[in-house]
Structure 1
Amino acid sequence: MTSLMGSLEGANSGKRESTNPQEEEGKKQPHQQVNRFCSVRYAMAIMIHGCNLIIFTQISSLSIAIIAMVNHTGQSNQSNVSSEGYPGATPDIGVPVYDWSPEIQGLLLSAFIYGSLISTVPSGYFAGVLGGKKIAGFSMLICSILNLLIPLAADYGLGYLFVIRIVQGLLQGMNYSALSAFWPKWAPPLERTQLSTIGISGVTMGNFIAVLGGGFLCDSPGWPSIFYIFGGIGCVYCIIWFSLVYDDPMNHPLISDSEKEYIASSMTEQDNAPTWSLPFKAMIKTMALWAILVSNICRFWLISNLTTSLPTLLDSMFDLDFEKNGFLSALPLITSWGSMTLGGYIADFLLSKKILRLITVRKLFTFLGMFFSSLFTVLVPYVDSTTAIVFLILASTMSTLCFSGFMINPLDIAPRYASFLMALGTTFMLISGLVSPVITGYFINQDATGWKNVFFLSSAINLLGMVFYLIFGQTDVQDWAREHKITRF
């Protein structure tokens, strides 16, 4: 590990002295740090955490409820099952049950991804200029209302349900991108990693709550309650959101003068003023940006296989019963939440204590997140079932350390365009998430070694992304992201 850190330290030794505000702040420290945990900026991180949590419980609701919604998963009949009193209801459980083929189920579950692909990048662009509060708030509100309408849409027909899922995907893409726009103004450089990981960890917590709580709600009072409860909570949360969230700390009515001064003084070296122009030509030529994008593709290839294929894998390889399968599928989500939050704290601690340089921290956490997730994954076919499950959980958990590595890197290299670049990275991830399950399906349908091939390929792609970032990743603010180096849109 010592040699690794030494090599990372020397990766950019031939470059000019870093002008990154995080490193400059660590050297100068001209202002006194305000208490972190009794502050408005950390309250903002918790609010963003809650927003991510709500959106992703709603997005994940269908993947849990569909098990109870479908009468016979193997049937090809796509029409609703009708019975007396309530179309689709069956007397034994009293809630609608439908005959949807596995193909229809797959399309329903993936429909939101296509919506997200359309809205993520434009939303990141507009949020970077206009701010994220309204975009995130209104997208969460509409998504919550649509969640309340899902049981009704399912009863009226598949077409209505497909439309709602696609629109929810559009809104989810808008929300996720808009939330990135807060950090260039709210996060002091030495707290940037921790604040952003607190916010983004709401994604894994939301998925965990949906997986764990959804099963109980399906059992009683029935699957429609999942959509009513999570949708209703989202509507109530929107009232809190519009009351307490502000795009700029200077405008927040509850922030203290000392905290306001601390945030403002920590940003003095940072070029983060909003602008409508985007230097596309310069961006395309920047290897530091490609390092982030390629790493996003490669990491999510592995993660999408671990998350979307884990229940199937546990069933086909280890023949686990439904209850154990559900619990083990949810366990990596809560361990990932802890790893993500702890990783952000450790990264900022290493920076604030001047133990490591910023470039070293980003590459170190990228290495830890991608190397060990690949290592644990590739070993799965060679161990017993208990050890294999432990390795799969560790692979998902370790991978979240990348949130303190390359995934937050856009805030380092281009604070001015951070929300746009993060949205671009998310889009690359979504494309990877669409392609990898297709390749996985091809391998597992070939022969008995299919899962082994899936693990090898996923691990190799993940390692490729790690190596690419270790070679080309940077943390210096790029010239095109500075105030006087902008080309027209």
Structure 2
Amino acid sequence: MSLPNGYSINSPPSESGEDEEPLIKNNPVVQLSSPVPPQCCSARLNLAILMFLGFSVVYGLRVNLSVAMVAMVNTTDPDATKNSSVIHACPLPSGAENGSQTFQQPAGIPQYPWDSETQGWLLGAFFFGYLCTQIPGGYLAGHYGGSIFLGLGVLGTAVLTLFTPLAAKWGSYWLFALRALEGFGEGVTFPAMMAMWARWAPPLERSRLTTLSGSGSSFGAFLALPLTGYICEQLGWPAVFYICGGAGCFWAVLWFAFVSDDPRTHRRISDEERDYIINSIGPQGTGHGWTLPLLSMMLSVPLWAIILTQMSANWAFYTLLTSLPTYMSDILHFDLQSNGFLSALPYLGSLVVSLLSAVAADILIERKVFSVTIVRKIFTVTGLVLPAVFLVAVNYAGCDHILTVTFFTLSSSLGGTSAPGVYINQIDIAPRYAGFLLGITNTFGTIPGVLAPIVTGYFTEDHSLAGWRKVFWVAAGINLGGAIIYLLLGTADIQPWANPDEEGVRQQKRRGESIS
């Protein structure tokens, strides 16, 4: 494995101006003067595993309502079924009464008369709060370090989750407010993760480490969806929120006990690994100051390419994340446990594909088969176009249960290909500002999380196949648009406004100092 020009494992970063160059380029790189510390049992791998577990919890807290909603709603109530009792697109299973399935809850467990529009708003409520803290969370994590923000984000969301049954009892408006608060707390987590990897991830290991930690979201969805269905049927839906909230609190204890913001301050890292990380990242591995090149960021075409592409990809992702259990229930009429398991299959596929793609991306970069920009574009375009194809295929599967589940699984699984593409591109174009930039891109990328469940609710008021076809056609079309944008405008080159020397020049100009 090799490092960028001007860096050695046993020497400090060169002062001859190399830090103005991209960390990884097409031109040859010098070989390390000593072996690279192995990832196995390393501090950086342990950090990635803890992040993986943390984001598993985060997504468990995020998606549990999607399945629990099926058990929380009283489908025999006239208010809940006023828009959905006329059309049954697919044949009902034997034993279904009055054209609908009723999921029995243990004695004493309440159910509520929420129609499809109310359910859409409740499923989207999380993202209203999630929008608010992405940018400030990324800014503060980039300045102070990300561990405190990631830890408190998960802990706060977990504690609030414990109050979900109480909020639902008080009414849908209270539950909407609580879910928005949960999103508010969780909004800092992904920017904090990126801010930490800007200090921890050697350039040639970025795809693997960042994707491994972020893929906890797929594992969390895969685990939470079937478990939620099982818990709802055996213990009642309130137990889902008590168990998920407790798991988040337990993880926070481990996080604060074992994690450090920076390899320089980690208590259990070897000297060899610390020197390797610090020297390979160079001056980009330090926190940014209070001032930011905001105008340059606003005018940055590569940044807008990331923003628009993530928004496009997230529309399909959030559509399936929040609405797939409803489709499995209302159209295909799966029972609650089968619903949870089948809704989880796409996330298992996404987990496997994203990890394999990350390893492949790092190999292509390390062996200089393609430039970093080409690698990012290959994985991004693949991860948007192929999922769109299989979403369209769902429209032609009709009521065929096997084909429908297969197409959903292939669509979400292949979407994992974009994990080492556009989703880590911020750390390529501006490593020191990676947390703040992720806050910006994830804020825009969360807008589909707000709109997609609401749009789905309006399209599917009558639970017809025609309404769901609109949902999937729109998602596929948006995916294709994002692929075209990134193919034309995306890059992995470090931007001029992201160089430490450029920041020093800007600060001197603001102080009115002469620059020789």
Instruction: State if a TM-score over 0.5 links the two structures.
Output: yes
* Matched residue, 1:85: none
Equivalent of 1:55, from 48, 58, 69? 58
* Matched residue, 2:485: 468
Distance (Å, rounded) in 2 between the aligned partners of 1:66 and 1:466: 33
Q: Does the 8 Å contact 1:64/1:210 carry over to 2?
A: no
Q: Does the 8 Å contact 2:365/2:372 carry over to 1?
A: yes
Query: In structure 2, do the counterparts of structure 1 residues 374 and 175 end up closer, same or farther at CA, with 3 Å as the change threshold?
Result: same
Q: Does the 8 Å contact 2:346/2:410 carry over to 1?
A: yes
Whether 1:477 and 2:494 are equivalent positions in the alignment is: yes
Query: In structure 2, do the counterparts of structure 1 residues 169 and 462 end up closer, same or farther at CA, with 3 Å as the change threshold?
Result: same
Matches within 5 A, 1:313-352: 313-315=327-329, 318-352=332-366
* Matched residue, 1:401: 417
Distance (Å, rounded) in 2 between the aligned partners of 1:97 and 1:26: 65
Distance (Å, rounded) in 1 between the aligned partners of 2:249 and 2:71: 25
Superposed CA deviations along residues 155-184 of structure 1, whole A, max 9, x for unmatched, are 455554343322211111022322221111
Whether 1:36 and 2:39 are equivalent positions in the alignment is: yes
* Matched residue, 1:233: 247
Matches within 5 A, 1:305-454: 305-315=319-329, 318-383=332-397, 385=400, 386-444=402-460, 449-454=466-471
Distance (Å, rounded) in 1 between the aligned partners of 2:469 and 2:67: 27
Matches within 5 A, 1:239-254: 239-254=253-268
Please report how far the alpha carbon of residue 440 of structure 1 lies from its aligned counterpart in structure 2 after TM superposition: 4.0
Q: Which amino acid aligns with 1:48?
A: M
TM-score (norm 2): 0.82
Distance (Å, rounded) in 1 between the aligned partners of 2:453 and 2:427: 30
Superposed CA deviations along residues 98-147 of structure 1, whole A, max 9, x for unmatched, are 32322443333322211111111111111111111111112222222222
Structure 2: unaligned runs, 5 residues or longer: 1-19, 81-103, 511-516
Equivalent of 1:22, from 21, 24, 35? 24
Distance (Å, rounded) in 1 between the aligned partners of 2:394 and 2:71: 31
Distance (Å, rounded) in 2 between the aligned partners of 1:358 and 1:309: 35
Distance (Å, rounded) in 2 between the aligned partners of 1:185 and 1:474: 21
Please report how far the alpha carbon of residue 276 of structure 1 lies from its aligned counterpart in structure 2 after TM superposition: 1.5
Q: Does the 8 Å contact 2:67/2:325 carry over to 1?
A: no
Please report how far the alpha carbon of residue 94 of structure 1 lies from its aligned counterpart in structure 2 after TM superposition: 3.4
SS at match of 2:438: helix
Q: Does the 8 Å contact 1:123/1:177 carry over to 2?
A: yes
Please report how far the alpha carbon of residue 24 of structure 1 lies from its aligned counterpart in structure 2 after TM superposition: 7.3
SS at match of 2:188: helix
Query: What is the root-mean-square deviation in Å for CA atoms of aligned residues?
Result: 2.6
Please report how far the alpha carbon of residue 321 of structure 1 lies from its aligned counterpart in structure 2 after TM superposition: 4.8
Q: Percent identity?
A: 36
Distance (Å, rounded) in 1 between the aligned partners of 2:48 and 2:105: 45
Q: Which amino acid aligns with 2:217?
A: V
Query: In structure 2, do the counterparts of structure 1 residues 143 and 273 end up closer, same or farther at CA, with 3 Å as the change threshold?
Result: closer
Query: In structure 2, do the counterparts of structure 1 residues 462 and 66 end up closer, same or farther at CA, with 3 Å as the change threshold?
Result: closer
Please report how far the alpha carbon of residue 359 of structure 1 lies from its aligned counterpart in structure 2 after TM superposition: 1.1
Please report how far the alpha carbon of residue 213 of structure 1 lies from its aligned counterpart in structure 2 after TM superposition: 0.8
SS at match of 2:74: coil
Superposed CA deviations along residues 10-42 of structure 1, whole A, max 9, x for unmatched, are xxxxxxxx9321337972233531101221100
Q: Does the 8 Å contact 1:76/1:99 carry over to 2?
A: no
Structure 1: unaligned runs, 5 residues or longer: 1-17, 78-90
Superposed CA deviations along residues 386-439 of structure 1, whole A, max 9, x for unmatched, are 334312211111111111111100000001111111111111121123233444
SS at match of 2:241: helix
Matches within 5 A, 1:66-145: 66-72=69-75, 74-76=77-79, 93-102=106-115, 103-145=117-159
Q: Which amino acid aligns with 1:140?
A: V
Query: In structure 2, do the counterparts of structure 1 residues 167 and 383 end up closer, same or farther at CA, with 3 Å as the change threshold?
Result: closer
Superposed CA deviations along residues 58-78 of structure 1, whole A, max 9, x for unmatched, are 22223333333333464449x
**Number of residue pairs matched?**
459
Q: Does the 8 Å contact 2:106/2:235 carry over to 1?
A: no
SS at match of 1:336: helix
Please report how far the alpha carbon of residue 307 of structure 1 lies from its aligned counterpart in structure 2 after TM superposition: 3.0
362-371 or 435-444: bigger deviation = 435-444
TM-score (norm 1): 0.87
Distance (Å, rounded) in 2 between the aligned partners of 1:318 and 1:222: 23
Q: Does the 8 Å contact 1:95/1:223 carry over to 2?
A: no
Distance (Å, rounded) in 1 between the aligned partners of 2:28 and 2:260: 27
Distance (Å, rounded) in 2 between the aligned partners of 1:73 and 1:485: 65
SS at match of 1:409: helix
Please report how far the alpha carbon of residue 452 of structure 1 lies from its aligned counterpart in structure 2 after TM superposition: 3.5
40-49 or 177-186: bigger deviation = 177-186
Q: Does the 8 Å contact 1:68/1:97 carry over to 2?
A: no
Q: Which amino acid aligns with 2:132?
A: I
Distance (Å, rounded) in 1 between the aligned partners of 2:213 and 2:385: 25
Superposed CA deviations along residues 286-316 of structure 1, whole A, max 9, x for unmatched, are 1111110110111112222333333344455
Q: Which amino acid aligns with 2:476?
A: S
Distance (Å, rounded) in 2 between the aligned partners of 1:430 and 1:137: 21
